[in-house]
Amino acid sequence: MTPNTEPSADPSPPSAALASWWRVVDIRIGVIPLPVFLLLCGLIWGFVATGKVPSDILMNIALLSVGGFACAELGKRIPGINQIGAGAIFATFIPSYLVYAHLIPEAVKTSISEFTKASNVLYLFIAAIIVGSIFGMDRKVLVSGFLKIFAPLAAGSVAAALVGMGVGTALGMDPKHTLFFVVIPIMAGGVG
């Protein structure tokens, strides 16, 4: 016997309520579906109301995701500045301002501070960005780009080190101290 190869009849179309639900689920704040975003907001509010916000990874993923994506969405929706990367700018600077202005509950601030200090999650985040960026590039473009930029990059790095050491020496610092404790940390990306 041969199996029936005829296509099966289409299942009945979804009900209006189900179709409405899926439209709501398709609305996203960042990468988070709207119902999940609202649920996370409610859970965070509940923890803040008790005054006990855990400083573990689960709570902080929720806190940082909700806060960062909400700020980014706000930046993406403002006409004019949304064309110059306001989403990333808002996600970076609005939380900092909220902490500065004491507009974030102390329990939330303490939770995030303890989590980032205890886990060194920034090292993982920076490494993931760098590795992900490199792996996301086309191999041919990566190799050809590296070969074209290597000589100017090396020459610029040596020139920057010499200029930095010259300025430090002119200001009375020891050249060795200037190179290893000022110039190299700055050239290595001292922001992290």
> What pLDDT is stored for residue 72 in this prediction?
93
Task: Indicate whether 175 pLDDT > 60.
Answer: yes
Task: Indicate whether 191 pLDDT > 50.
Answer: no
- The set of long-range contacts for 72-77, using a CB threshold of 8 Å and a minimum separation of 24, is 72/30, 73/29, 73/30
> Quick check: 73 and 21 in contact, CB under 8 A?
no
> What pLDDT is stored for residue 90 in this prediction?
93
Q: Looking at residue 40, what DSSP letter applies? A: H
Higher-confidence residue of 148 and 27: namely 27
CB burial readout 117-154, b (16+ within 10 A) else e: eeeeeeeeeeeeeeeeeeeeeeeeeeeeeeeeeeeeee
% of the chain exceeding 90 in pLDDT: 56
pLDDT digits (tens, 9 = 90+) for 113-170: 999 889 888 888 888 888 888 888 888 888 888 888 888 988 998 999 999 999 999 9
Question: Looking at residues 96-109, what average pLDDT do you find?
Answer: 94
> What pLDDT is stored for residue 142 in this prediction?
82
> What pLDDT is stored for residue 170 in this prediction?
94
pLDDT digits (tens, 9 = 90+) for 38-74: 999 999 999 999 999 999 999 999 999 999 999 999 9
Question: Is 29 in a helix, a strand, or coil?
Answer: strand
What is the band of 192 on the pLDDT scale with cuts at 50, 70, 90? very low
Closest to 49 (Cα-Cα) out of 116, 109, 108, 115: 108
Question: Looking at residues 77-103, what average pLDDT do you find?
Answer: 91
Higher-confidence residue of 14 and 37: namely 37
Rounded to 5°, the CA angle 99-102-108 comes to: 65
Statement: the pTM of the whole predicted model exceeds 0.85: no
Mean pLDDT value across the chain: 88
Question: Looking at residues 13-20, what average pLDDT do you find?
Answer: 85
